[in-house]
Amino acid sequence: MPELPEVETVARGLQRQIAGRRILSITLGKTDFIDNPEEIEKELPGRAIRSVVRYGKFLLLRLTPKENAGETERESALLVHLGMTGMLRPQPAGEPHAKHTHVVALLDDGRELRYIDARRFGRMAYLAGESLQEELRRFGADPLEAGLEEFTARIRGKRARIKALLLDQQVLRGVGNIYADESLWKARIHPKRLGARLRKEQVKELYRALQGILERAIVMRGSSIADFLDAEGQPGEYQRHHRAYGREGKPCFRCKTRIKRVIVAGRSSYFCPLCQKAPRSGRSQGRETRNQGQGHLKKR
DNA sequence: CTCGATCCCTGGACGC
DNA sequence: TGCGTCCAGGGATCGA
């Protein structure tokens, strides 16, 4: 499932492979995940791909203006969200199309940029000018660009559970379920803790954990757990370093306690029940701790 | 404001 | 082998 490190990996691969190429034509398959398919068919042919960058979990293919369009140069881009199973990669035009290939852009060097997405949980949109800026403004800070001050303000300024905040793209853009759980594990914070009730020191630990994990995951070209492949068709390696995500019942790397799984913010959340202390029970924070009195805390 | 529930979609795992 | 069922999850939406 492409999150920030996976999308960054794809963006870098595409930048290397297709930046500068001109789009000659567009062929669409199923379009129910595309905001404006007819505009894509009309606007993309003739434009070159100026650069490919990541924006949160989106790929932003920045485009040149149409050649003869005398209009004032408006920023234009193709936004691509890979959802759960989306893949975007250039392939020789002669190669057969994989199943679930829904968008094909013929490039000026004989290759095709193909969007393949079995579940179509992704999203694609052509946007320009103010509507592009408006769309980008909807999202929160990039976790790798935000300073500690901003991060702290965003986390402590809300009363939602920390897991929900990490997943909320309007708070931070790019974090998904895997890296949320991994960073909470590293910072020893229970996913049900309220953001507003974290101590400053804990927020700082979370900030450092999140940045460190994202950076390391980018170096390893992301996590391939289901079927993530980068722009070159290669899997990532970071799944070998997961400490919490997907490890239900397995021993915690710190204390050997079995990793537990609970649903928080509607998503599976993996955590160590010993290292990541649950919030005091109460209607506001969930009741996982109902029977964990002070009794056995210092059991020795 | 925040919550959970529901829907979208398909492939893979699992049970019989 | 071949069904049926459940689950995964990012994001939108809706009602509580």
> CA(A126)–C1'(C10) in Å?
20
Query: Do residues A53 and A11 make contact, with C-beta atoms less than 8 angstroms apart?
Result: yes
Known catalytic residue: A267?
A: yes
| pLDDT, position A300 | 24
Pairing verdict, β A111-117 and A101-107 = antiparallel
Confidence of residue A223 (pLDDT cuts 50, 70, 90): confident
List pLDDT tens digits, range A73-87: 789 999 999 988 899
Distance CA A122, CA A119 (A): 8
List pLDDT tens digits, range A153-174: 999 988 899 999 999 999 999 9
Which is the CATH superfamily of the domain at A4-137?
Answer: MutM-like, N-terminal (3.20.190.10)
Q: Which regions of chain A carry the CATH code 3.20.190.10? A: 4-137
In strand B, which positions have an atom below 7 A from any protein CB?
A: 1-6, 8-12
Distance CA A299, CA A286 (A): 25
Q: Which regions of chain A carry the CATH code 1.10.8.50? A: 148-294
Residue with tokens 């994202």: A214
Residue A156 neighbours by CB distance under 10 Å: 18
- Strand partners for A123: A81
Length of chain A: 300
Which residues sit close to strand B, CB under 7 Å?
A 32, 99-100, 118-121, 158-161, 164, 227, 264-266, 286
Query: Do residues A239 and A223 make contact, with C-beta atoms less than 8 angstroms apart?
Result: yes
Known catalytic residue: A66?
A: no
Distance CA A175, CA A145 (A): 13
List pLDDT tens digits, range A179-211: 999 999 999 999 999 999 999 999 999 999 999
Distance CA A44, CA A109 (A): 16
Q: Is A148-294 a CATH 1.10.357.10 domain?
A: no
Query: What is the average pLDDT score of chain A?
Result: 87
